[in-house]
Amino acid sequence: MATFTAQDGTQLYYKDWGTGQPVVFSHGWPLNADAWDAQMMFLAERGYRVIAHDRRGHGRSSQPWNGNDMNTYADDLAQLIEALDLQEATLVGHSTGGGEVARYIGRHGTKRVAKAVLVSAVPPIMLKTESNPGGLPMSVFDGIREGVAKNRAQFFKDLALPFFGFNRPDAKVSQGTIDWFWLAGMQVSIKGAYDCIKAFSETDFTDDLKKVNVPALVLQGNDDQIVPLDDSGVLSAKIMPTAKLITYAGAPHGMCTTHADQVNADLLEFLQS
């Protein structure tokens, strides 16, 4: 397996396929790099170099006690990009990974970045605050923490349904997708999974988004039951100076899986533009 070692000694797994202009993917919680397989295979077959890592504590990366916060996630991404000496990369982040991409740009700038894509992403901030009245109350995230701490095996099975929209009356339910989501969730260290909830829900990415000075694309479904569209994708697209928002009718949070063909087509068009 390909790995690199972060500054604090954490070993991070990554996959690196194809040749050409680099596209770097950051996955959502509680998943890993495999969440991007449909996009990575599609783009690698079309002449792009595609790279995705397992976030610390997730998947095949090691499970440190510390560093499960957005600043460290972004710094890990920076170290991967620098280790591979990537130039003119397009950064693509889903959900928590979208926060990772935004925070990377906020902390490390765009000298190695050509474009940025946020997919069903958590920025600008998920938590309801005085400055973000449309956010979700802390009780929602406390409930997620309780589910992870008490019985994460059952919690991840249950979470898969709204994540992929499988709880909708007309949904075509894939048991294989549910099983894969559960397996990925169970590969996360419980400490990493628990701490990441605070990272993705309470981090304010507003200032990071303002620093996105490269072409940006925001993709999100209007039936996202995990990260509500109006308080995430819509706001992020308004904050980033050069962003374009594409809304998918009826698409869920996990639309990179359920709507892979559409996501792939939009990514390719953006990369070629």
Q: Tell me the catalytic residues.
A: 95, 224, 253
Is residue 57 within 8 A of residue 193, CB to CB? The reply is yes
Please list, residue by residue across 86-115, b when 16 or more beta carbons sit within 10 angstroms of its beta carbon and e when fewer do: beebbbbbbbbbbbbbbbbbbebebebbbb
* Nearest Cα to Cα of residue 90 among 24, 138, 30, 135: 24
For residue 229 the two structure tokens come to 């569209």
For residue 169 the two structure tokens come to 């009356």
DSSP 8-state code for residue 168: S
Helices (H), ranges, the chain: 37-44, 70-83, 96-108, 138-163, 175-187, 190-202, 206-210, 233-239, 255-258, 260-272
Tell me the C-alpha distance between 220 and 121, whole Å.
8
